[in-house]
Amino acid sequence: IPGQTWRVHDADRPHPPVVDPGPAMASAPAPKDAIVLFGGKPEDLAQWTSGGGDAKWRVVDGALEVNGSGDVQTREDFGDCQLHLEWASPAEVAGTSQGRGNSGVFFFGRYEVQILDSFDNVTYADGQAAALYGQFPPLVNACRGPGEWQSYDIVFAAPRFDGEGKLLAPARITVIHNGFVVQAQRELLGGTAHRSEPRYEAHGPTGPIRLQD
């Protein structure tokens, strides 16, 4: 990884300390000026697309549930933004490491904040919950148990490129996981990917927010 002594997904990289975030609290109403991308109703799926068509995830008890139909992404594009996301991994534990409750939220479809059941689940440090995938582990592991609701509050600043595609300023991300600051104004090294060195490719000032199947 550029600027680090670690390889991508290095098994020897130290794991962040585990902290207890306490029980999940009831969600507060969205701010009045917020764009609500999913509010718990089946018709809210109209704001999402998959593979160029309609999103086919299920709506179960007011939540979107992954069902193997592919990633979903917003129809609307965003640049700099603040995102509030609530998620829960399956209550029934199956699998280990990356095979357990694995998803992710991508800005511009390419900069991932990892979603994973990291409760008593050892995996590579830069791939656990709230990691900037393949680049930076979270400062602490603030995961609740399987089936419990968790929250991310993410402040994302998009990268800037000049007219010739040269990087002027990298993307920056702050992540608050269950009330703990786990990424603080972290500069991304480029797009996130599995087992490959990050790099930037020029793109426009806005892009979709994608949720991984």
Write b or e for each residue in 36-58: b if 16 or more Cβ atoms lie within 10 A of its Cβ, otherwise e.
ebbeeeeebbebbbbeeeebebe
Nearest by Cα to 152 from 101, 188, 193, 116: 116
For residues 132 and 129, what is the distance between their CA atoms, to the nearest angstrom? 9
Percentage of residues in the chain having pLDDT higher than 90: 88
What does pTM read for this prediction?
0.93
pLDDT of residue 158: 98
Percentage of residues in the chain having pLDDT higher than 70: 100
Residue 108 contacts residue 158 (beta carbons within 8 Å): yes
Please name every residue paired with 126 in a beta bridge, in sequence order, or none if there are none: none
27 has pLDDT over 90: no
28 has pLDDT over 90: no
Write b or e for each residue in 83-96: b if 16 or more Cβ atoms lie within 10 A of its Cβ, otherwise e.
bbbebbbeeebeee
150 has pLDDT over 90: yes
Q: What is the mean pLDDT of residues 11-32?
A: 89
